[in-house]
Amino acid sequence: MLKNNFSFSGVILLAGFIAGGCAGAGGNDQGTEYAPNMYHSVAYEPLIQITDESAGMWVNSSENPDVGEYYSSNPNNPYGMNMREPVTNTVRRGDFIPYRIPKDSFALAERILRNPLDSTASVVNSGKELFLKFCSQCHGTDGQTPGKVGERFAGVVSYTSAAVINKGEGHLFHVITYGKGRMGPHASQLSVKERWEIVRYVQVLQQQ
Amino acid sequence: MPLKIRLKCSAVLLVSVLFFSGSFHKLNAQAEAVPADADVIAAGEKLFRQNCAACHRIQEKLIGPGLANVYDRRDIAWIQAFVKNSQKVIQSGDPYAVDMFEEYNQIVMPPVDFSDEEILSILAYIKDQTDKLPQAAVTIEEAVDTGAAAEQGLFTGYMNYILAGLIITLILMIVVLVMISSVMQKFLRTRSDLDEADREIIAQRFNLLALLQSRAFIGIVAFVFTAIAFKTVIDQLYEIGVQQGYAPEQPIAFSHKVHAGQYEIDCNYCHTGVMKSKNANIPSPNICMNCHSSITEGVNTGTKEISKIYAAIEENRPIEWVRVHNLPDFAYFNHSQHVNVGKVECATCHGPVEEMEVVRQYSLLTMGWCVDCHRTTKVNTKDNAYYDKLVEFHNSPELMTVESIGGLECAKCHY
């Protein structure tokens, strides 16, 4: 009876070690997957790239016997990326017309650009929300005293300084789009509409 | 206005000094031309903070040169001309201005429409700061140093004393107990009026082998052993397919603790898709370069890790970040739906990312975990016209959970 007892717990312990060896994620280990064939996308996933062709060979269910189940990399793209850039000269549906004012033409932008959004409460509010997310770490929440990044980055202009307080809305839009001086371009992070909303809120800050 | 009169007086004084001294006059004498009134200094401080402090410090170089003693280096008329329109001075071929422009990477100091008096008041502030700079720096440093040392010493000192006291007390207690027991044994052995059973107890020796072989002991050990093993197996089985705690090493040792924690950069600044698309997105290097164009040295790793961004840009090569959160292919999840429409905070699912050096998967991301939240979370209908009719039909909109509008239907996430 005692012997049985020991061998029983021995079996359970062994099962525990086996389970323990394969389950549980941590560090670089993703842990064990249940039904891995259903976990991994057959289609190209833009934010995943597995270039190892033998990955998942042991569960291979695809028609191609040379490539493992987990392999996910598009050989037609540079560096085997799954992500692709938009086709050149195409415009996103429903967006504004392309912005063609050259990078250093601040005066031109100031002269011809007009804000298509009125200064309504909702525009200013969403401008404020975007400002706090995208601008305040450098320009500070009031647009005058630099934020945490601004202190380290240095050279952050105060919105009320004599150099910029009288600049028009077109100038502000152009600066957000292309950057100016040490500030980088933010066009890839903010849509045209969002940039005009921020312009409205910056003007509110300048009047304070 | 007394301030204006004073400013005018000093301007007149300055002009006369310049006039009489001529261009060969020692520049040091100009320090006297800078006003020293408290009012003027205060006015200058305000102007300096708003217009100059972005690029200039008193002592150290920033974007532009440190301004301490600037009135000794250049004459005041030159400073005024440069502040009003620096490019004009540079283009006139002034060698000092041209050299400085080259030294500071040809960064243009924007022209400012200041009056001469205003520039003088800024100089007054700079002079005031220059004069009291060294002492101030020293005293602040000392105060910080002594404060920190005292606090640390006090804490560790107390802890050590307490620990030592506890250890000594415990050793003393053991010694006393052993002494008592041996004294009692000796005393009982000398007694002759004890019966057989009592004598046996006194003579008793601890028998380890007998204990180990006893049925009860083996039974208890086997039970405890089996129970622990059983629990381990069940726990491990539950972890299959769950990647909570997965924290892969990334090609660049990017620290969320520094960026999101110390510098308080909003998640959305880099993860630009989070409000607009299914994926929150990993930023491409152009977003890194918005700050790292000039911040070339990191808090933790110096230039080692940041230079990898520059290398990737130089070679036009993507940085192969390792994806941390991997939902199974058969489950659909959309960030914008949760963050933009539902106004769920990032930390609700991703945990305290601002404290993580290396990002790890904080939540379970199992179906049970999703469903739990959908059962308890109320739909955020505020300022959302899409829900207006729905709220109207529900008599009590505050009871409208994600579940009640179909958030548990299979095909919402599996299709």
Alpha carbon distance B361, B273 (integer Å): 19
What is the domain-level CATH number for residue B87?
Answer: 1.10.760.10
What DSSP line would sit under B328-357, residue for residue? -TT----HHIIIIIS---HHHHH--GGG-S
* Segment B212-220 mean pLDDT: 90
**Is the Cβ–Cβ distance between B357 and B257 less than 8 Å?**
yes
The two counts, helices (H) then strands (E), for chain B are: 19, 0
Residues of B with CB below 8 A from A48's CB? 323, 326
Residue B118 lies in a domain: yes
Alpha carbon distance B256, B356 (integer Å): 6
CB interface of A with B, residues 34-93, below 8 Å: 34-35, 38-42, 46-49, 79, 81
Segments forming the whole domain that contains residue A53: 34-85
Residues of B with CB below 8 A from A72's CB? none
**Is the Cβ–Cβ distance between B267 and B347 less than 8 Å?**
no
Residue A6 lies in a domain: no
Task: Kindly report, residue by residue over A57-92, the tens digit of the pLDDT.
Answer: 888 887 788 888 888 999 999 999 998 888 888 887
Which of A30, A38, A176 has the most B C-beta neighbours within 10 Å, making it the best mutation to test the interface with B?
A: A30
Fill in the DSSP letter of residue B300.
T
**Is the Cβ–Cβ distance between B346 and B339 less than 8 Å?**
yes
A45 and A122 co-located in one domain? no
Task: Kindly report, residue by residue over A160-195, the tens digit of the pLDDT.
Answer: 888 888 999 999 999 999 999 889 999 999 999 999
CB interface of A with B, residues 136-165, below 8 Å: 137, 144, 146-149, 152-158, 160-164
Task: Kindly report, residue by residue over B84-98, the tens digit of the pLDDT.
Answer: 888 888 888 888 888
Reference B286, options B305, B266, B309, B260; nearest CA is: B309
| CB–CB contact A13 B225 (8 Å) | yes
Residue B16 lies in a domain: yes
Task: Kindly report, residue by residue over B226-271, the tens digit of the pLDDT.
Answer: 999 999 899 888 888 899 999 999 999 999 999 999 999 999 999 9
Chain A: nearest CA to B241, how far in angstroms?
Answer: 4
List residues bridging with A26 in a β-sheet: A29
Residue B277, pLDDT score: 93
Reference A67, options A79, A77, A58, A57; nearest CA is: A57
Chain A: nearest CA to B193, how far in angstroms?
Answer: 45
Give B409: exposed, middle or buried? Use CB within 10 Å, 0-12, 13-18, 19+: exposed
**Is the Cβ–Cβ distance between A138 and A131 less than 8 Å?**
no
Segments forming the whole domain that contains residue B85: 2-135
Residues of B with CB below 8 A from A22's CB? 240
* Nearest beta carbon to residue B236 from set A16, A29, A134: A16
Displacement of CA B168 from its chain's centroid (Å): 43
Which of B112, B224, B226 has the most A C-beta neighbours within 10 Å, making it the best mutation to test the interface with A?
A: B226
| CB–CB contact A153 B263 (8 Å) | no
| CB–CB contact A158 B281 (8 Å) | no
Tally of structural domains, chain A: 2
**Is the Cβ–Cβ distance between B360 and B245 less than 8 Å?**
yes
Tally of structural domains, chain B: 1
Residue B159 lies in a domain: no
Q: Which residues contact B68 (CB under 8 A, 6 or more apart)?
A: B58, B59, B126, B129, B130, B133
Task: Kindly report, residue by residue over B293-337, the tens digit of the pLDDT.
Answer: 989 999 889 899 999 999 999 999 999 999 999 998 899 999 999
- Phi first, then psi: give them for residue A88, nearest 5 degrees: -60, 145
Residues of B with CB below 8 A from A120's CB? none
Residues of A with CB below 8 A from B226's CB? 5, 8-9, 12
Tokens at B320, concatenated: 């192969």
Task: Kindly report, residue by residue over B42-56, the tens digit of the pLDDT.
Answer: 888 888 887 888 788
Reference B189, options B179, B178, B181; nearest CA is: B181
A110 and A79 co-located in one domain? no
Residue B27 lies in a domain: yes
Alpha carbon distance A196, A169 (integer Å): 8
